[in-house]
Structure formats: structure tokens, C-alpha cells
Amino acid sequence: CQQKIILLRRTKVSYLCFVKNTQKGGYPSAGYSRPRSRPTEPEVNAEKMEPPSFHPCDEAVISTNDDASNCKRSAVKLGYWKDDYIAHFVRNPDRKAPEINRGYYARVKGIEMCIEKFFKKTGDKCQIVNLGCGFDTLYWRLREAGHMVTNFVELDFPNVTSRKCYQIKRNKVLLEKIHVEDGEVRLSPTDLHSTNYHIVGVDLRNIEEVALKLQQSEIDYSVPTIFLAECVLVYIEPQNCHNLLKWFAANFKTAAFVNYEQVNMNDRFGEVMLNNLRQRGCSLAGVDSCVSLDAQISRFLQCNWHGARAWDMVQIYHSIPASERARTERIEMLDEAELLVQLFQHYCISIAWIGDLFQDVEITVEKQLSSLNID
């Protein structure tokens, strides 16, 4: 493992390439809104669905959950952010390279900032649907912060949800947070249902199965809903991904989608990242939507979302308050700041929306950049 990290540093590519991801003014976001026309009846069937059978790459994709979880645990252990729950899913992680820890901090913090902006619009009267949830602990962290959303639904491959259900049911701390007075917790090998928390095993390429699992999770299509995806769509074949996004757009009255994913994958650095992932058996079926911020936006517009914006992680990092950035930059020294910049330039967060509620959500990027000297 140490040899791999050394090799990657020499080639200016961090081990982050291997994991599931990896003053006002400043940068404007890439963004677009289109005139809207909603069909009177929502679509319920996907067109030209590609076979949702188990793909040879699925096992490699599933394994990225372990990588990402270990990386998050490593950063948490060093104090990049507070998460008292990740240790229940990951016991003894290896210490990761500083670039990895900083990268995951920006990823987690960026998504949290988006959610906070949505909460200013909805309060707790919203639903969160976490696609490809892995061992993410967002539900428990929100509960600890005093948030009790209307419904929180997590979806992932059954192989992943079964392991997460097992850890939840055997851990009092996790169970106490999902148990509500006068409510019950129902468990199966791959699914768990409580009053406002649900985790279900599902293949996101199968729309009928997704619809059934959301129904079992008591989803309400009229309640403002926030979809989250961290390096998920990129693993789904384009037609299946479009079917999924179109189905969401057709059936949810008010929604926002927060997508963390690769970007600028058509340059040399992106090619190296792709090759590293392919060597692990991960074929990025949806990489065509990751060539630019505009491509990320177009994916949502083509699937009938009303508008979208996108920022690379350089911009996201500089939207974090300067005092908070300074705190994390003191935790450990970077061996090569340039490497972190390159990684940030090849990941992004995009936001898409249905309805008017979330259309003015914006990320403010500081014009004065930090000690990384990013141009």
C-alpha cells in the first residue's frame, strides 16, 4: 500500500483516484435554467431500460464503499471533522495520505454546506434520499445536530445494505437514534424501516424496483426532497442513469439533487485516474457526463430537471470559511500542494432542481484564495 502511494505521488496522482469519488466575487458557477413545462401525469415507466442484471463491474463498484469509508474514518480520526458514528462501521483504518484526508474533508464539507442551504428553505419538513449510501453516517449526524427530517431513505446494493443493517441492529448507539417513541423498527436481511429512517437494498438501474422500495419507505412525492449521490451516477450506464433522473423529475413536485463526482476527465490527469479505476475493475460507464462542468449540467437538463449549477472542488474548497480552512490546514502538512489542486480540479459538486424552491441556491466562492496558491 505504501509503495502504491509513493508511486502515485511520483505520477502526481493521489490514492484518492482509487476511491469511490477520491471575500465574495471569485468564480461564477456554471449554471443554466430552462423554461418549465410539467406533464399533468407523472411518468412511471422508463424507456429503453438496459438489463439491470448483475454486471461484472458491480463487485468492484461495491468494494469502493469500503475504500471511501476507510478514507473518511482516517480523516475523522485526525480531526478534520466530527463524526462519532463512522467508527461503528470502520474500526481501524490505515492512515491515509494528507491529500486524501484534505480531499475527503472538502467532499464532506461541500455536501454539508449544500444541505444547510436547503434546510434554510425547508427546515426539517423535507425528505432526503441518499443514493449509493454506503456506510454514510449523515442521518445520525443530522440527528445529533438537532434535525429530524420528515423522512430519510438510503439506497444501495443489497450486499452493502445488508452489512449496514447488521451493524445498526447490533449497535445500541445507532439504534437509539433511529428509534422514535411509539415507533417500531422492522428489519430484513437487506432492509430496515423505522419511523423516519429507511435503508433498502436495490439496483438503481431497475426503476420498478426503485419505485417499490421508495413506496415501502413511505416516500411522499409532494414533500420537498433532496437527493444525494457521491460518485454513484458515474457507475451507471447512460440510458439507465437518464431513466432514473427522468423518473425522479417526473414524480417529485419539488426536489434538489446534489451530485459529487469526477469532472475534467478528458485531460491527461483524468486519463490516469480512469486507468487506475479500470485496473481495479471499475468501468466508469457514465464518464461522458464527467468531461466538464457543462456536461454535468447538461445531464440533468436532458433529463427534464428545471435547472442546474456546478462547481469544481477548487471553488467548493474556497467557499468554506477561511477560519475553518485554516484549522484543517494545520492538522498535517501537504507533501505536494500541487497534487491536491489537481485532484480538486477533477472533482465537482453539481446541484439540480425541480420547481422554484431551490433555484436560487448558490455557492459563494472567496476571491482571495488560500495558501494553496490556486490560480
What residue ranges do the domains of the chain occupy? 56-354
pLDDT value at residue 205: 96
Provide the 8-state DSSP code for 20: S
pLDDT digits (tens, 9 = 90+) for 64-97: 899 999 999 999 999 999 999 999 999 887 899 9
Q: How far apart are CA 151 and CA 217, in angstroms?
A: 8
pLDDT value at residue 179: 84
Binding-site positions for S-adenosyl-L-methionine = 107, 132, 203-204, 230
pLDDT value at residue 277: 85
Binding-site positions = 107, 132, 203-204, 230
- Mean pLDDT across 140-147: 96
Tell me which amino acid residue 159 is: N
| Buried b / exposed e along 69-98 (16+ C-beta atoms within 10 A) | bbbbbbbbbbebbebebbebbbeebeebbb
**pLDDT at residue 35 above 80?**
no
Residues forming beta bridges with residue 31, ordered by sequence position? 309
| CB neighbour list of residue 269: distance below 8 Å, 6 or more residues apart | 12, 13, 342, 345, 346
The answer to whether 349 touches 114, Cβ cutoff 8 Å, is yes
pLDDT digits (tens, 9 = 90+) for 280-332: 888 889 999 999 999 999 999 999 999 999 999 999 999 999 999 999 999 99
Q: What is 56-354's CATH superfamily?
A: Vaccinia Virus protein VP39 (3.40.50.150)
Pick from 319, 321, 333: nearest CA to 361: 319
pLDDT band at 100 (very low <50, low <70, confident <90, very high): very high
Q: How far apart are CA 85 and CA 139, in angstroms?
A: 10
**pLDDT at residue 14 above 50?**
no
Pick from 259, 268, 364, 286: nearest CA to 319: 364
The answer to whether 310 touches 350, Cβ cutoff 8 Å, is yes
Left if phi > 0, otherwise alpha if psi is -120 to 50, otherwise beta: which for 229? beta
Q: How far apart are CA 151 and CA 226, in angstroms?
A: 10
pLDDT value at residue 367: 59
pLDDT digits (tens, 9 = 90+) for 221-273: 999 999 999 999 999 999 999 999 999 999 999 999 999 999 999 999 999 99
Q: Alpha helix locations (H) across 26-157?
A: 58-78, 98-122, 138-144
Give the CA dihedral 341, 343, 345, 348, nearest 10 degrees.
-130
**pLDDT at residue 45 above 60?**
no
